[in-house]
Amino acid sequence: MKVAVACDHAGFPLKETVLDVLRVAGFEVLDLGTDSAAAVDYPDFAEKVGHALQTGEAERGILLCGSGVGACIAANKMRGIYAGVCHDTYSAHQGVEHDDMNVLCIGARIIGPEPAREIIAAFLTARFVGNDPGQERHQRRVAKVRKLEAAK
């Protein structure tokens, strides 16, 4: 699986940890910046990750900013991007399993490297279960979310 990763200046201190986690786990990484702690705008980097998913250049994305919230809001403005802020493993895997989340947003000022490692692993090993027998309710709910998206 190819994973697009980007951050703003506030997320930059955690970025190298994220890249290492992905590479060690055998994922192909698309590093979309930023490459320093110089001030930049998180929407620009959320757009890069979103575009990579929209074009099929990556299958999932990880965004880092100070709280995770700004990057998440920006990413969710893009068609086909379903981002969630996750600072725990349950939300990270459940967001994929039940909600078909494709972008993980992490606040680098909220969590440190060790929780980030576990959260990323939970996100990337999860799969959407909406097509499994007995799990159709998740497909129905995701379809309703996509209908909301199409109506805007």
Using CA atoms, how far apart are residues 139 and 137, in angstroms rounded to an integer? 5
Contact assessment for residue 138 and residue 130, using Cβ atoms and an 8 Å cutoff: yes
What was the pLDDT predicted at 152? Answer: 67
What percent of the chain has a predicted confidence (pLDDT) above 90?
Answer: 98
- Catalytic residue of the set 9, 86, 93, 98: 98
**DSSP annotation of 132:** S
Q: What is the 3-state secondary structure (H, E, C) of 67-90?
A: CCHHHHHHHCCCCCCCEEECCCHH
98 catalytic, yes or no?
Answer: yes
Question: Helix 89-99 vs helix 113-125: angle between axes, to the nearest 10 degrees?
Answer: 20
Stretch 123-141: mean pLDDT, rounded?
A: 95
Predicted confidence (pLDDT) per residue in 84-130, tens digit? 999 999 999 999 999 999 999 999 999 999 999 999 999 999 999 99
What was the pLDDT predicted at 82? Answer: 98
Predicted confidence (pLDDT) per residue in 50-74, tens digit? 999 999 999 999 999 999 999 999 9
9 catalytic, yes or no?
Answer: no
**Chain mean pLDDT for the chain:** 97
Stretch 6-34: mean pLDDT, rounded?
A: 98
Domains annotated for the chain, with CATH where assigned, are 2-150 (3.40.1400.10)
- Catalytic residue of the set 65, 72, 86, 105: 65
What was the pLDDT predicted at 2? Answer: 98
